[in-house]
Structure formats: structure tokens, C-alpha cells
Amino acid sequence: MSENGKIILLHTGLIALLLALNFILPAYHHGNIARVMVLASYAIGYNILLGYTGLLSLGHALFFAAGMYGMGLSIRHLGFSPAPALMMGIAAGALVSVAIGALALRTSGVAFMIVTLMFAQAGYLTILLFGKWTRGDEGFVIQQAERILWGIDLSDANNRYLAALVLFALCLFAALWLVRHPVGRVFVAIRENEERAQLLGYNVFLYKLAAVVASGTISAAAGASYGLLFGYAGATFATVQYSIFPLLWVLLGGMGTVIGPFLGAVFMFYLIDLSSGITNAYMLIAGVALVLLTLFAPQGIGGEFRRRVWGWLP
């Protein structure tokens, strides 16, 4: 089988597997996997920037929250129906990522990490400042009646799972298309050697901006969908912790692989889920995982697969 065939087979196979799981999973895991698929979409967005362009952002919660609040606030205060509200969320994410990208990309390396962290923190505090509209830490619930998209009630577990699967499939194939597209190849060239990419005549700044916007927009789509599917928007999703999570998922799953973010999200989700049954200090697992990954497996699960078995893994 050709490499292209294998790649298509692997990724459609994953989607088909998740579709099949919809009918056999017990209720608890059914809900968890729906959540994981939305979070994995967020991680896919993050991976475009970290894994393919080589830019480590510590402020992606800002994009996730921009999507979530762009959607949530337009339902709550403007009375939008879900479809245009989703669009509002995605547009908010795109807009924020253009602004942040244009500023933060003037820096690089460590400074880029800190600048994104600071902007995300400012975003989080802004949500708290306008607590009258956003209800701050407490957040607000999106009522069941406001979550009916084209006649489909998204609060129903089955519909929710399928909607999450549609979002995940869209993000997965969009990422697959992007990284195999010439633009994605330029991203990788920038990751490998920025100066050489510049020397070849690429406008490195514009390509990096494109990567930030693509990454931020996918993250915002995930944030908006999360709010809509689970009926809640709160400032917790804008905290530093939600910027660290996608980093952790991508590192664990393998940065620079399309399938990695899902693997990382599903592993980490269950690891934290299991440990929170034992202790309330479940973030300890995240900390230990981060240290061990940087020390022993910087390529993550997907990277190891690529090295040992599937050299063609995109």
C-alpha cells in the first residue's frame, strides 16, 4: 500500500473506531470520550504551532476561552442561536490570534513563551474584571433550550458524542491537509531552521502568523464547542492550567504528529481521572508527566511510533 493510502487508512480508521465506540461504550466512558475528543481538537490546534512550526506558546487558554466566551456571551446577552454563536466564537478566536500573533511574533524563544503567558493572564483577569457579564470564576450555564443546533439537542449524550466526533474529525483532517500542504511544509522548514527558510525567500513572519491564526482558530472552535456541548462557560478555562494542558497532551502524544494530540489527551485524561479518585492533588500527575516527558521521551508516543514502526506518520 502506498504511504498516502496508509495515512488515510490510519486516520479514517481512528474516526471509524470512535464512531463504533459510540454504540458500545458504557455511559461514563461515553461521556469521557466525548469530552476527550473536544479537548483533543484543542490539542490539534496547539500542535500546529508547537509541533509543526516549533513555537511554544504558554497562552493558548486565551484562544480556547475566546472561542468559549465568544459563543457563550453571544447566546447569553445577544440571544443568538447556536450556529451563529459558534461562528462568533470562532471569529473571536481568529481575531484574538491575529492580534496576539502580530505582537508576540516580534519575539522568539523564551520571550515568546512569556509574552503569550502574560497576554493569556491579562485575558483571564479581563474575564474576572467584567464579572457582571461573564460571571467570573463562577461562570454561567447555557440552558438546554439554547443548545439545539438545527433541531438536534446537543445536551443529549448520544448527539453530543456524535457532534464531538464531527468536530474532532474536521480538526483532524484539516490538520492532516494543512501539514501535507505546501504551507505546512514551510511551517516545518521554519521549525527546523528559521534562517534557512528566510534565505529561501519565504516571508517567515507571515507564515508564523498564519500558523498562530490557524492554531488559535482551531483552539477557539474547540473552546466554543466545549461550551456548547457541555453547557457551561467559566473563567477556569482561561487559567494558566488550560494553557499547560494542551502542551502536556501534545508532548505526551508526540508533537509534530497529527494523531499525537488525541493519544496524549486520552491518556492524560484517564490518568488524571483515575488519580482524582485517590487524591485531590491530581495535578501532581501532570507535573510528574511533564518532567518525565522532557527528560526521557521528548518525542512522545507518536514520535516513538514514527521512529520504530511507522516512518511515514505525518
Binding site for other proteins (CB under 8 A): 56, 58, 103-104, 106-107, 109-111, 113-115, 118-119, 121-122, 125-126, 128-129, 240, 244, 247, 251, 279-284, 286-295, 298
Distance CA 314, CA 309 (A): 13
The least distance separating other proteins from the CB of residue 241, rounded to whole angstroms, comes to: 9
Residue burial 72-104, b: 16+ Cβ < 10 Å; e: rest: bbbbbeeebebeebbbbbbbbbbbbbeebbeeb
Angle at Cα 229 formed by Cα 64 and Cα 72, nearest 5°?
Answer: 55
The least distance separating other proteins from the CB of residue 153, rounded to whole angstroms, comes to: 37
The least distance separating other proteins from the CB of residue 292, rounded to whole angstroms, comes to: 8
Using the 8-state DSSP alphabet, how is residue 51 labeled? I
Strand duo 152-153 + 148-149: pairing? antiparallel
The least distance separating other proteins from the CB of residue 8, rounded to whole angstroms, comes to: 33
The least distance separating other proteins from the CB of residue 117, rounded to whole angstroms, comes to: 8
Nearer to other proteins, 143 or 193 (CB): 193
Nearer to other proteins, 203 or 294 (CB): 294
Angle between helices 3-24 and 27-47 (to 10 degrees): 150
Tell me if 220 sits within 8 A of 209, measured CB to CB: no
Q: Where are the beta strands (DSSP E) in the chain?
A: 140-141, 148-149, 152-153, 232-233
Residue 182 exposed, middle or buried by CB count within 10 Å (0-12, 13-18, 19+): exposed
Nearer to other proteins, 9 or 288 (CB): 288
- DSSP collapsed to 3 states, 109-169: HHHHHHHHHHHHHHHHHHHHHCHHHHCHHHCEECCHHHHEECCEECCCHHHHHHHHHHHHH
The least distance separating other proteins from the CB of residue 248, rounded to whole angstroms, comes to: 9
Nearer to other proteins, 244 or 259 (CB): 244
Tell me if 5 sits within 8 A of 310, measured CB to CB: no
Nearer to other proteins, 19 or 111 (CB): 111
Nearer to other proteins, 199 or 281 (CB): 281
The least distance separating other proteins from the CB of residue 206, rounded to whole angstroms, comes to: 18
Nearer to other proteins, 158 or 241 (CB): 241
